[in-house]
Amino acid sequence: MDSQMKKGMMEVCILSVLSRGDSYGYQLIKDIEPIMPLSESTLYPVLRRLEAAGSLTVYSVEHNSRLRKYYSITNEGRQRIADFLSEWAEVNRVYDFIAEVNGGVRSGRLDS
């Protein structure tokens, strides 16, 4: 998979998990790992990028005498999810066209 596409998908996966409720790094990794591999060294730069873009906010809570960073989705983050879903519908239309032109191959359809 193209690295830029994977990066965008990872960002939207993180935002989608946060749309269910605030979370912290380790939990985000556990929630996303069944869908795509994710390590701390990958996650935290993405979280910083999403924060800089205004898609999420960060706050700290004490847990076991240590501060734990929690991440919360913003309205901009929710809009990013909506934009992704809209764009994905376009990608599926292109996929359908390519599959039809190439003999109706449909086994790799993106929403099946």
Q: What is the pLDDT of residues 5-60, one digit of tens each?
A: 788 899 999 999 999 999 999 999 999 999 999 899 999 999 999 999 999 999 99
- Provide the pLDDT for residue 95: 87
Higher pLDDT, 99 or 27: 27
Name residues whose C-beta falls within 8 Å of residue 43's C-beta, 6 or more positions apart in sequence. Answer: 14, 25, 28, 29
Range of the domain at 27: 3-101
pTM for this model (two decimals): 0.81
Token pair for 40: 């701390």
SS3 38: coil
Identify whether 47 is part of a domain. yes
Identify whether 22 is part of a domain. yes
Identify whether 109 is part of a domain. no
- Provide the pLDDT for residue 74: 98
Identify whether 112 is part of a domain. no
Sign, CA torsion 71/68/8/88: negative
Number of domains in the chain: 1
Identify whether 63 is part of a domain. yes
Identify whether 21 is part of a domain. yes
- Provide the pLDDT for residue 1: 66
Q: Which candidate, 73, 37, 38, places its Cα nearest to that of 56?
A: 73
Identify whether 106 is part of a domain. no
Q: Which candidate, 30, 71, 26, 33, places its Cα nearest to that of 53?
A: 71
Residue 108 has pLDDT above 90, yes or no: no
Residue 61 has pLDDT above 90, yes or no: yes
Q: Torsions phi, psi of 22, nearest 5? A: -60, 150
Tens of pLDDT, residues 86-96: 988 888 889 88
CATH number at residue 50: 1.10.10.10
- Provide the pLDDT for residue 62: 92
- Provide the pLDDT for residue 107: 56
Residue 71 has pLDDT above 60, yes or no: yes
